């Protein structure tokens, strides 16, 4: 059993950490105010090989393992939680496209995604259902060599910034549930597509909105996987993204702890450093313990994926625990900074707003606990 990263992984970590601290962290607040992530930053990440690095080389990747992909997302998110969503989308959708698209379609889009030239989002949720993901109503009607898409997707991250979307639509009857859902790779420039953006409390640089499909014609070659089986085939990729989301959230928890430990040595009260007061240090010590444990759990799930072993329950553990723990940690760090922590000059308030959304998006804690329970209840 080896808990250490290898030499290459440590070199990648150091390189990404420098980029994150020097390029991403200074713009965290600005991106929140502007409501977008600069394309120049995304292209720079692509040039550094930070997008979809675990994909095969013929598709623009570097053949890295999934543990290394986790390292990259963790370090990027330390500087800007929201920018960390870009490599996460590239990894989740990149594996879906690589595994289920035709080689020609995969090469066309994955090269652009891994280079940072194009942004990909995933369009699953609909107004009529969130956690009940298989209750989709959006239709994809086959007409010759095309599918005609009609319906609405909502609560879609990067809805108005993405260039292409992995879209789920019903090709079977409503009663067939997941067995009648297919997935498509849909360029966002096709006629009949429009988007809106919501006003949210956090993750404003990512943005969330609806995508409307009005008689959108998609060539049959853009279907991902088999007709009617796209939901079951593609949803397996979410086990991977849930481990990455855990690291994305825990990154800002650890960054907040690092900043707060330092703060306690710089600030004085009653003639002593704040670090002398156990009322401040003990809560941080507890959270430091939890963050280390949760982080190891995330990397364990990624190790299982690299080893080709099931990691459904482990991924679900990452997804419910990571966002909740990160919120609690950042809140404690904000309080430890007192009145200065409450201001927008420090990043704690924005981090709270940003990380809270992932207690909802990509699977609620209740759904994750259902998944875990199914794995452990004796059959």
Contacts of residue 73, Cβ cutoff 8 Å, sequence gap at least 6: 84, 87, 88, 91, 244, 247, 248, 251
Number of domains the chain is built from: 3
Percent pLDDT > 90 in the chain is 89
Q: What is the pLDDT of residues 247-279, one digit of tens each?
A: 999 999 999 999 999 999 999 989 999 999 999
Q: Do 109 and 159 lie in a common domain?
A: no
224 DSSP β-pair partners: 183
The residue written with tokens 């994955």 in the block is 110
CATH number at residue 352: 1.20.140.10
82-92 mean pLDDT? 97
Banded pLDDT at 30 (limits 50, 70, 90):
very high
From 182, 145, 179, select the one nearest 166 (Cα to Cα): 182
pLDDT category at 175 given cuts 50, 70, 90 is low
pLDDT at 338: 94
Per DSSP (E only), the strands in the chain are 120-123, 139-143, 146-157, 164-170, 181-187, 193-195, 208-219, 223-224, 268-269, 272-273
Question: Measured between alpha carbons, how far is 237 from 363 in angstroms, rounded to an integer?
Answer: 13
**Contact in structure between 172 and 226 (CB atoms under 8 Å):** no
Does the pLDDT value for residue 234 go beyond 80?
Answer: no
Q: Which domain holds residue 66?
A: 7-118
Q: Which pLDDT score is estimated for 131? A: 72
Q: Is the residue at 103 inside a domain?
A: yes
Q: Which of 60, 87, 118 is the last residue of a domain?
A: 118
323 closest CA partner among 248, 215, 235: 248
Residue 2 domain-assigned? Answer: no
Tens-place pLDDT, residues 317-360 = 999 999 999 999 999 999 999 999 999 999 999 999 999 999 99
Compute the distance between CA of residue 352 and CA of residue 331 in angstroms, rounded to an integer.
7
Final residue of a structural domain among 208, 227, 246: 227
Residue 180 has pLDDT above 90, yes or no: no
| Final residue before a domain boundary, out of 118, 140, 160 | 118
Residue 1 lies in a domain: no
Burial 43-74 (b: 16+ CB within 10 A, else e): eebbeebbbbbbbeeebbbbebbbbbbbbbbb
Could you identify the residue written with the tokens 């670090």?
275
CATH of the domain at 97: 1.10.540.10
Q: For 182, phi and psi rounded to 5 degrees?
A: -120, 160
Sorted by sequence, the CB contacts under 8 Å of residue 138 that are 6+ apart come out as 126, 149, 150, 151, 152, 153, 167, 168, 169, 170, 213
Based on the domain organization, do 361 and 260 belong to the same domain? yes
Share of the chain above pLDDT 70, in %: 99
* Whether the predicted pLDDT of 185 surpasses 80: yes
- Non-local CB neighbours of 205 within 8 Å, separated by 6+ positions: 31, 32, 34, 35, 36, 37, 80, 82, 83
Confidence of residue 133 (pLDDT cuts 50, 70, 90): low
321 and 252 share one domain = yes
Model pLDDT, residue 37:
98
pTM: 0.95
């Amino acid at each position: 059993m080896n808990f250490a990263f290898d030499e290459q992984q440590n070199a990648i970590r150091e390189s990404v950490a420098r980029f994150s601290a020097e390029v991403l962290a200074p713009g965290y607040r600005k991106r929140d105010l502007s409501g977008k992530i600069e394309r120049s930053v995304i292209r720079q990440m692509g040039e550094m090989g930070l997008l979809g690095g675990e994909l095969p080389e013929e598709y623009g990747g570097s053949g890295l393992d999934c543990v290394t992909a986790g390292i990259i997302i963790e370090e990027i998110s330390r500087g800007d939680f929201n920018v960390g969503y870009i490599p996460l989308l590239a990894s989740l959708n990149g594996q879906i496209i690589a595994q289920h698209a035709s080689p020609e379609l995969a090469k066309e889009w994955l090269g652009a995604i891994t280079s940072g030239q194009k942004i990909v989002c995933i369009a699953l949720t609909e107004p009529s259902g969130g956690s009940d993901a298989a209750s989709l109503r959006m239709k994809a009607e086959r007409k010759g060599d095309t599918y005609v898409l009609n319906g609405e997707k909502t609560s879609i991250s990067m809805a108005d910034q993405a260039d292409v979307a992995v879209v789920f639509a019903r090709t079977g009857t409503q009663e067939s549930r997941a067995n009648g859902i297919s997935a498509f790779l849909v360029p966002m420039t096709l006629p009949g597509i429009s988007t809106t953006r919501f006003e949210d409390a956090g993750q404003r640089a990512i943005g969330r909105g609806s995508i409307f499909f009005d008689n959108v014609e998609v060539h049959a070659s853009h279907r991902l996987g088999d007709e009617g089986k796209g939901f079951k085939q593609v949803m397996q990729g979410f086990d991977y993204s849930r481990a990455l989301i855990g690291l994305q959230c825990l990154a800002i928890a650890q960054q907040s702890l690092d900043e707060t430990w330092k703060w306690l040595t710089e600030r004085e009260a009653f003639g002593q450093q704040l670090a002398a007061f156990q009322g401040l240090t003990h809560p941080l010590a507890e959270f430091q313990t939890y963050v280390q444990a949760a982080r190891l759990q995330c990397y364990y799930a990624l190790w299982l994926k690299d080893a080709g072993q099931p990691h459904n329950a482990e991924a679900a553990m990452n997804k419910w625990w990571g966002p909740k723990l990160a919120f609690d940690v950042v809140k404690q760090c904000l309080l430890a900074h007192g009145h200065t922590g409450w201001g927008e000059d420090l990043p704690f308030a924005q981090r709270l707003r940003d990380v809270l959304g992932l207690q909802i998006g990509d699977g609620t804690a209740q759904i994750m606990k259902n998944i875990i329970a199914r794995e452990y209840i004796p059959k």
